[in-house]
Amino acid sequence: MIETRKVIGVILLVFIIGIGFTKPVQEYVSIPLELVLMEGQQEQLQKALPVFKMSSTNENVSVNEEQFAVLANSQGDANVTVTVGGAPVKNVDVRVLKDIKVIPGGQSIGVKLNTLGVLVVGHHLVNSDDGEKSPGEIAEIEVGDIITKINGKKIENMSQVTPLVQEAGENEESLKLEVIRDNEVLQKKLIPLKAKGESSYRLGLYIRDSAAGVGTLTFFEPNSKKYGALGHVISDMDTQKPIVVNDGQIVSSLVTSIEKGSNGDPGEKLARFTNDRKILGTITKNSPFGIFGKLHEPMKNDISDEALPITLSHQVKEGPAKILTVVDGEEVKEYDIEIVSSVPQKFPATKGMVIKVTDPELLEATGGIIQGMSGSPIIQDGKVIGAVTHVFVNDPTSGYACHIEWMLQEAGVDIYSKEKAKAS
């Protein structure tokens, strides 16, 4: 009797597990509980059985019974009910976002950043009458600290520092420094020293107030002219810490030559600012997703100058796509790539996609992804989906990319804003 029960139990267990592998059940399970769409987008759901029906009473969405699809009509929240024989079996929460369109970039840009205050990038010894000392080290100033005030005076560039140091040294007074370290404001006292045989006093610190480089424009929003570029943070070359931006500019740039990449040796775009050094826009933010600000006027790439819709992270598909970038002069060209994988992220993260360059022309010219290509926009099915960010050192044909929705968020283009309540 006991043996019979065991056999029946095993048979039932196998039967229940087997049901889970049947196509109707798998397709039913694949129907999501949540759905995020842009205005005008249609999402086809898996239809498990002919008896499955779909309905919604909310005007923000409509349903297409024949295709078993949800159509996003207008911004707002809605609910779609899946029924069998009139009985609800699953509810799908639908969020319809404002239809955002951006103009893709691809242009080579020069970047000029001014730091918040002055950045400490190193220490040095002063050969004084009392021996070799570094006033900065004695004052416990660390590499990566940002000096924002000296004796209560706001510091914006290095030219302001020397007179204050000299005055304090001649008066045999200490300097009161306000520094930022890891988002914490600290107060320090520093006594300048004079080197033997010199008349000037020194801090014993190497400091910097600006940085420059080149990259690629990703997009701009045509109404606000807000833009995003690079797809990754700009860090100081000495401290390897993100540069805290006071202000900055992007300027026109051209690619002069290419250092081709190979396994273990990433290549690089060699570029310079154009002779006219035309200022294209401001820089107000330096974040893990790139640099952001506003353009002074719209920019054209002569390939895709019309505003394109965007694709959210969960809508990106593995398969063919295009990037826009410059490999010679100022000419933007379109090249083939493959989306190897994409993570449907609910929260911002920089490495959302793995991509691979497949275009023979680009592989011949660069070897794949190279430095300076960061920020090149990625387009799939006529929509902007993200930007190139990093290259794999051991395989320069492949690298990472970030999703466009996080760059838009950093740029201040709010695609998740609730529709403003209508005035009564």
Rounded CA-CA distance 140/189 in Å is: 9
Q: What φ, ψ does residue 187 adopt, rounded to 5°? A: -110, 130
- Give the burial class of 259: count Cβ atoms within 10 A of its Cβ; 0-12 exposed, 13-18 middle, 19 or more buried: middle
Crossing angle for the helix pair 23-30 and 2-20, to the nearest 10 degrees:
60
Classified as helix, coil or strand, 250 is: strand
Please answer whether residues 47 and 30 qualify as being in contact, where contact means their C-beta atoms are separated by less than 8 angstroms: no
Rounded CA-CA distance 401/376 in Å is: 9
Classified as helix, coil or strand, 322 is: strand
Q: What φ, ψ does residue 352 adopt, rounded to 5°? A: -90, -20
Which residue do the tokens 């190497």 mark?
206
Q: Which residues are catalytic?
A: 232, 359, 374
Strands 245-259 and 226-230: unpaired
Please enumerate in sequence order all residues whose Cβ is within 8 A of that of 143, keeping only pairs 6 or more positions apart, or say none. 120, 121, 122, 123, 238, 239
Across the strands, what pairs with 72? 61
Cα dihedral sign, 122-127-128-132: positive
Q: Tell me how many degrees the CA angle 81-83-84 measures, rounded to the nearest 5.
A: 175
Task: Please compute, for residue 134, the number of CA atoms within 13 A of its CA located in the half-sphere on the CB side.
Answer: 13
Cα dihedral sign, 165-171-172-177: negative
Please answer whether residues 274 and 208 qualify as being in contact, where contact means their C-beta atoms are separated by less than 8 angstroms: no
The DSSP secondary-structure symbol of 364 reads H
Report which residue type is found at 402.
C
